[in-house]
């Protein structure tokens, strides 16, 4: 039997979830426990998205709930590092010229709930910025997002820039977004393309195992 907080979050009962957290905190329960339950709920949400019974509304609402719960917990918790063991590091961003962020944010979200440390560089990210981030963060995976077909060229030039910087060997690259397919993967020189956010998780997990 799951905790009522987990039930409320997975059941998309935002008000109930926040009320339960308030009550737990008023009863003096450990904020760390609340955080763990919330993360448990997020894991279930991620699983249901993966199996195709949850969609964007559920991902977005559970993300909102987690943000609000974290806000309630913050004043009661000493600054604590996220203690979950990380499966690996991912650098993520929407490529130059493209400002779409919804798909990228979803990928960041599901990678995070699946235990990856995600560095999100944002939108309209230049080749140089990706190169710098890969050099500094040394991620196992670089995830390039783009919705427009102009992203095909920016993805290609980003991967070329990695090669020129001598960083291509050390990182596996996946592309994702509206029009990405095998033809674009070959064109850009990426290692994989993803049709949905879960493809990025599978790719990242697979990469972790290989390296």
Partner 1 sequence: MVTTVKSWAELTPEEKRQRRYDSWLNPEGVEFVSPEAEATYKARATRVADAYSLRTPDRVPVSMNMGWYPVAWAGLSPYEAMHDYGKAADAYVRFNRHFQADVMANPIFMTLPGRAFDLLEYRLYHWPGHGTPKDAGFQYNEDEWMKPEEYDHLIEDPTDFFYSVYLPRISGAYEMFSHLGSAFDLVEMPFGTLAMGPWAAPGVKTSFEKLVAAGQEVGAWAGAIFPAVGTLQSDGFIQIWGGASKAPFDFIGDSLRGTRGMLLDLYREPEKVLAACDRLAPLMVRWTLRRATPSTIPGIFIPLHKGADGFMSPAQFETFYWPSLRKVILGLIEEGFTPFLFAEGRYGSRLETICDLPKGKTVWLFDQTDMARAKETIGQVACIQGNVPLSLAHAGTPEQVTAYCRELIQTAGKDGGYILDFGGVLDSAKPENVEAVVKAAKDLGVY
Q: Does 191 bind partner 1 (CB under 8 A)?
A: no
Cβ of residue 63: shortest distance to partner 1, in angstroms?
A: 10
Choosing from 64, 128, 136, 164, the residue that interacts with partner 1 (CB under 8 A) is 64
With respect to partner 1, which residue has the nearer C-beta, 183 or 211? 183
Q: Does 71 bind partner 1 (CB under 8 A)?
A: no
Which span sits near partner 1 by CB under 8 A: 17-25, 28-36, 130-138, 148-156?
148-156
Q: Does 89 bind partner 1 (CB under 8 A)?
A: no
Contacts of 167 (CB under 8 A, 6+ apart): 131, 134, 135
Q: Does 50 bind partner 1 (CB under 8 A)?
A: no
With respect to partner 1, which residue has the nearer C-beta, 31 or 109? 109
Q: How many CA atoms are closer than 13 Å to the CA of 167, on its beta-carbon side?
A: 23
Nearest Cα residue to 90 out of 56, 46, 121, 64:
121
Choosing from 91, 98, 120, 201, the residue that interacts with partner 1 (CB under 8 A) is 98
Which span sits near partner 1 by CB under 8 A: 53-61, 66-74, 160-168, 199-207?
53-61
Choosing from 99, 122, 136, 163, the residue that interacts with partner 1 (CB under 8 A) is 99
Cβ of residue 78: shortest distance to partner 1, in angstroms?
A: 31
With respect to partner 1, which residue has the nearer C-beta, 109 or 140? 109
Contacts of 51 (CB under 8 A, 6+ apart): none
Q: Does 127 bind partner 1 (CB under 8 A)?
A: no
Q: Does 164 bind partner 1 (CB under 8 A)?
A: no
- Give the footprint of partner 1 on this chain (CB under 8 A): 12, 14, 53-57, 60-61, 64, 96-102, 148-150, 152-153, 178-181, 183-184, 186-187, 196
């Amino acid at each position: 039997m799951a905790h009522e907080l987990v039930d409320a979050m997975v059941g998309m009962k935002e008000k109930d979830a926040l009320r339960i957290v308030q009550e737990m905190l008023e009863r003096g329960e450990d904020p760390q426990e609340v955080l763990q339950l919330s993360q448990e709920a997020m894991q279930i949400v991620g699983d249901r998205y993966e199996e195709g019974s949850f969609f964007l509304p559920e991902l977005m609402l559970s993300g909102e709930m987690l943000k609000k719960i974290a806000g309630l917990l913050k004043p009661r918790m000493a600054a604590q590092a996220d203690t979950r063991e990380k499966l690996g590091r991912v650098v993520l961003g929407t490529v130059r010229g493209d400002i779409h962020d919804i798909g990228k944010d979803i990928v960041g979200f599901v990678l995070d709930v699946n235990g990856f440390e995600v560095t999100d560089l944002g939108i309209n990210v230049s080749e140089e910025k990706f190169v710098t981030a890969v050099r500094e963060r040394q991620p196992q995976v670089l995830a390039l997002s783009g919705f427009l077909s102009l992203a095909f060229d920016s993805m290609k030039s980003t991967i070329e820039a990695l090669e020129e910087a001598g960083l291509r060997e050390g990182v596996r690259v996946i592309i994702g977004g509206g029009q990405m397919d095998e033809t674009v993967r070959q064109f850009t020189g990426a290692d994989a393309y993803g049709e949905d956010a879960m493809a990025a998780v599978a790719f990242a997990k697979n990469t972790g195992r290989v390296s």
